[in-house]
A and B are shown apart, each in its own frame.
Chain A
Amino acid sequence: MNIIKFKKKDVYWYLFIIFLVLIPLVPFIANNSFIQHVFILILLFASMSQSWNILGGYAGQVSFGHSVFFGIGAYGAGMAVVKYGMVPWPGVLIGAFIASIVAVIISYPCFKLKGHYFAIATFAIVEIFNRLFMVWYWVEGALGLDYPLVEVGWKNFMWYDTKIPYYYGALILFIVIFGVVRWIEKNRFGYYLVAVREDQEAAESIGINSTMVKLTAMAISAFLAALCGAFFVQYNFRVDPPMVMSLSMSMTFVLITILGGAGTILGPLMGALILIPLQEYSRALWGGFGGGIDLIIFGIIIVVVVVRQPRGIMGMISDIKKYSQSNKKINFNIGKDKGGE
C-alpha cells in the first residue's frame, strides 16, 4: 500500500465514475430495459459484496451470515413503506443501525471461534434468522411484504415505468460504499485490519486491539449491507425471508468477492461484472432447458477459478503484471546482489 501510488489511481477512478454516469445515455442502453436491469444488479451486487469484503476480505473473518444484514435493511425500508405507509428513508436508516447493532452483538462471542467453527456458526445464524422471520407476525412472516402503489419519485424512491433513476440510485450506493473502502485502505484502520488478518498475535504486540478492530469492521460492514438491502426492496417491490435471508444469498456475496479478489477494492466489482451478466443471461437463455444449466456453468466456473487462482481475478491480473515485469528486468549486476542487505 504505497501512499504515493494512490494519486495516479484516483484519476482512473474518477474517469471510471464519469463513464458510469454517462452509460444510461447511450441509446442502445437507454432503450433496453433488460440491459439496464443487468447494470443495476451489477452495481447492487458489487456494492453488497464490497461491504462483505470489509469483513471477509480485509479483516479476514469469513462469514456466511451477511444476508442477515441485507435482510434487516430490506425489512427496515419495507416495513416503513408497507406497514407504516411512510417514505422509506427513516426505515433505511433504522434498518442500517439495527443491522450494525445486531452484527456487533452476535459477532462478539463468535470471534472466539477459529476457522471452520466460525464459518459454521455463521451458517447457523443465517438459518436461525431465516426461520424466525418466517414466523414473526409483525413482519408478515412467510408472506413477506408487498409494496403498495405509491407516488413516483425520489421521495418514495419508487418508479414503475423506467429503471433509469434506479440505476443512478445504485450508482450512488456504489460510489458511497466503494468510497468508504477507499478511505479504509488509505488510513490506519485499513492497515490494522490487514494486521489482524495476517497475524493477530503480532498485531496485539504493537498495541492493536484486535477485538475492537474486528467489531468495528463488523459494524461498518453490516451497516453498508443493510443499505444495499434497502435498495433491493425498493427495486424489487417485495421482500420475504427466503429471498433475502438465505444461505445462498450470503454465498453469492462471498463468491463474487472471492472470484473478483478478496481484500482488494476492485475485486467485488470484477466479480460482479463477470458473474451477474452470466447469471442473468444464462437464466434468460437457458432457464427453459429443464432448469439448472446456468447454475451448472456457474458451479464449474467457481470450481475452476477457486482451484486455479484463489486470489481471484485481481490475483490473475497481478500475476500477469509480475510476469511481464520480471521478463523485462534481467539482473546483469549479479555481483552487487548481497542477499537482501
Chain B
Amino acid sequence: MALLEVHNVTKKFGSLIANHDVSFNIEEGQIVGLIGPNGAGKTTMFNCVSGLYRVNEGKVLFNGIDITEFPPYRVAKLGAVRTFQIVHPLKDMTVFDNILMGAYLREPNNQKAIEIAENCIKIGYLSEVKNKRAGDITIGLKKRLELARALATGPKLLMLDESMAGLTSTEVKESVELVKNLRDTGITFLIVEHVMEAIMPIADKVVVLDGGIKIAEGKPEEIIKNEQVIEAYFGKKYSKKLQAAKGVEKSV
C-alpha cells in the first residue's frame, strides 16, 4: 500500500479543466517531484490532495484512508501537511510561536509542545530569529519557517509548494540538504518545483503535468530525455530542433 494514492483526479473550474484524470502513487520514504510549466495544474493538484479544493472526479487515499472529501484540517491531522506557494506566516506572532502552533497539533501540553518547537527551530536553522515577529523576517526565512511549522505537526507526508522560489542559490542548497536529512528521519516528500537544481538531484521519481494532464512519470534521468516533457517546457519548435540535432549526432 502506497502512502499516497491519487486515482483519476479531475478538477474543473467552470469549463476550465485544471486537472484531468491524474493518477500517481507515492511510496513511503520517497521524495517525489511534481513539475510542469506554469498553469499545468500543480498547485491545483496540491489543493485537491490537501482538501482545500473538492475534486470533481477521482479519489485520494492516504495511508489507505479515503481523504477525498476531507477538509484541510483533517488531512493535516492524519499526517499530510502542505506549505503554501505564497507564504502564510502568522505575521504578528513570533517565529517561535508560529512553530509552537504547529507543535500543538500532536501535543496539547505546553511543556512538550515547547520542546518540539525548540527542536524544529534547530532543524530549520531559525534559532537567530526565534523571537522576531514573523512578518519582519526575509522571504527565505519565511519559507523555512513555513517548513519548520509544518514539521512541528509531526507529518508523515510533507507537501512543499515551490518552497525554493525566491531563494538565493546558497539558500537553495541549504534547503535541499534539509529535505534530504528530513527524509532520512522517515518523512515522505511531495515537492512542486520550478527550480530544477533543487528537485532533480534528490527526487526518487518525478511526475510531470502539462495543461492539466500527466504527461510523464519516472526517474529524473529518464524525464529530462522525455520528448513530451521537453516539448512542454520548450515548445514544439525547439523540441524539433533538438530532435534534428540528436538525429544528426547519431548518424555522425
A and B touching (C-beta < 8 Å)? yes
Q: Which residues of A contact B (CB under 8 A)?
A: 1-3, 186-188, 191-192, 194-195, 198-199, 201-210, 339-341
CA distance A76 to B97 in the complex (A): 41
Given A1-B97, A188-B104, A209-B73, check contact A341 B110 (CB 8 Å).
no
Please tell me if B2 contacts chain A, counting CB pairs below 8 Å: no
Flag the segment in B20-28, B129-137, B189-197, B211-219 that touches A: B129-137
- A341 partner residues in chain B, CB cutoff 8 A: 128-129, 138, 141
CA distance A203 to B149 in the complex (A): 11
Please tell me if B92 contacts chain A, counting CB pairs below 8 Å: yes
- A203 partner residues in chain B, CB cutoff 8 A: 73, 101
Report which of A191, A195, A205 forms a contact with B84, defined as CB distance below 8 A. Answer: A205
What distance in Å separates the Cβ of A312 from its nearest Cβ neighbour in chain B?
A: 15
Q: Which residue of B lies closest to A341 (CB)?
A: B128
What distance in Å separates the Cβ of B27 from its nearest Cβ neighbour in chain A?
A: 24
Report which of A195, A201, A210 forms a contact with B101, defined as CB distance below 8 A. Answer: A195
Please tell me if B150 contacts chain A, counting CB pairs below 8 Å: yes
Q: Which residues of B contact A (CB under 8 A)?
A: 50, 52, 71-74, 76-77, 81-84, 88-94, 97, 100-102, 104-105, 108, 110, 113-114, 128-129, 131-132, 136-138, 141, 149-150, 152-153
Q: Are B76 and A201 touching (Cβ within 8 A)?
A: no
CA distance A191 to B105 in the complex (A): 11
Q: Are B97 and A207 touching (Cβ within 8 A)?
A: no
- A194 partner residues in chain B, CB cutoff 8 A: 90, 93
Q: Are A206 and B102 touching (Cβ within 8 A)?
A: yes
Q: Are A3 and B110 touching (Cβ within 8 A)?
A: yes
CA distance A1 to B104 in the complex (A): 15
Q: A202-B89, A205-B82, A341-B128 are in contact. List 7 more A-B contacts (CB 8 A).
A: A1-B93, A3-B114, A188-B108, A198-B90, A201-B84, A205-B73, A205-B84
Q: Are A205 and B104 touching (Cβ within 8 A)?
A: no
CA distance A36 to B222 in the complex (A): 83
CA distance A3 to B104 in the complex (A): 14
- A340 partner residues in chain B, CB cutoff 8 A: 128-129, 132, 136-138, 141
Given A198-B91, A204-B73, check contact A191 B82 (CB 8 Å).
no
What distance in Å separates the Cβ of B168 from its nearest Cβ neighbour in chain A?
A: 11
